[in-house]
Amino acid sequence: MATGVTNVSTLNGNWVSQVYEDALFVARARNVMAGLVTSFTDRGGDESRANLEYPQATAQEVGENDDYSNPAQLTKTQLANLTPVEKIAQAIVTDRRISSDPQRARDDASKELGEALADNVESNLLGVFDDFTGGTIGAAGTVMTWGHFFAARTKLAGSKVPGPYACVLHEYQWHNLAKAASVAGSQTNAAAGLLDEVNRRFYVGTVGDVDIFTSANIGIDASDDAFGGMFNRAALAIDWRRMPRLEPERDASKRAWELNFTAHYAHGVWRPTFGVALKFDATAPTS
């Protein structure tokens, strides 16, 4: 007969700590965006973080006897403001479930809590691509092509946004690019190296100085369009005020444990001109 894990010391000392570690692993493994953006970890509390920028000074030619006077105006402009919020995911695990199969109960709780936090962070960061001010490539109902992809890259480079860049697309948007570079497509659609890469593993790691990622957490509107994005990592930021933590709470009347997985963070566009929005059709493929 399986021995039940129901006492506080066992839960806190072993079982819950394993849930916490596994949940963090799941959260990291399931999250694409957190590793592609600027990350802050130097503050706590609820004070917002502002990104302030001085105007750029310019050098001009002067004559030998000119009394030049055109000082730079050292007045800061606010580019962005990040306001932290607290997020929570909760799992309730009953005594009977723990007694029956503590390993499976732990694994299920870890998976649910980790995925809940990962999806929240991911969706928040993916949901601000349309706030980029470096330009918009594409339009509603337009199928994305490699021409659009390189137009976005050129727009960033032409605006002196430093590389390398990340490009994040919905799975359905990426499907159209992959199809164009697949065996069914022609060699003129993409370089031979890209063609080989897509055919070998479908997902492309890097094209030029652009790393490509996909996420099904990008929102699709009622017209089956979605905003992807191409950006320098400084374009977006996540501001961790308190990293994820797990706290158990006993519910005696329910004969169960509440596992509360919480985090305190802010997110948003940090340098809006460092990103280009990619608005394209995101209709699910039918064949």
Tokens of 132: 């980029």
User: In this predicted model, what pLDDT tens digit does every residue of 161-180 receive, in sequence order?
Assistant: 999 999 999 999 998 888 87
- 53-57, 111-115, 140-144, 185-189: which range is least confident on average? 185-189
Determine the pLDDT at residue 66. Answer: 76
Determine the pLDDT at residue 76. Answer: 75
Mean pLDDT of all residues in 204-225:
88
Determine the Cα–Cα distance for residues 160 and 147; give it in Å rounded to an integer.
20
Of residues 62 and 3, which shows the higher confidence score? 62
Any residues with CB less than 8 A from the CB of 256 and at least 6 apart, and which?
92, 93, 94, 95
Residue 203 has pLDDT above 60, yes or no: no
Give the confidence band of 2 by pLDDT, cuts at 50, 70, 90: very low
Residue 187 has pLDDT above 80, yes or no: no
CB 180 within 8 A of CB 189: yes
CB 259 within 8 A of CB 109: yes
Residue 128 has pLDDT above 80, yes or no: yes
Mean pLDDT of all residues in 225-252:
95
Query: Mean pLDDT across the chain, nearest whole number?
Result: 86
CB 158 within 8 A of CB 134: no
* DSSP class of 15: I
Report field, pTM of the whole predicted structure over 0.85: no
Residue 106 has pLDDT above 80, yes or no: yes
What ranges do the domains of the chain cover?
A: 1-53+78-287
b/e sequence 208-233, b meaning 16+ C-beta within 10 Å: eebebbbbebbebeeeebbbbbbbbb
Mean pLDDT of all residues in 68-89:
83
For every residue of 53-104, which 3-state class applies, written as one string?
Answer: ECCCCCCCCCCCCCCCCCCCCCCCEEEEEECCEEEEEEEEEEHHHHHHCHHH
Q: Which CATH architecture has domain 1-53+78-287?
A: Alpha-Beta Complex (3.90)
Burial label for 84, CB within 10 Å (0-12, 13-18, 19+), is buried
CB 279 within 8 A of CB 139: yes
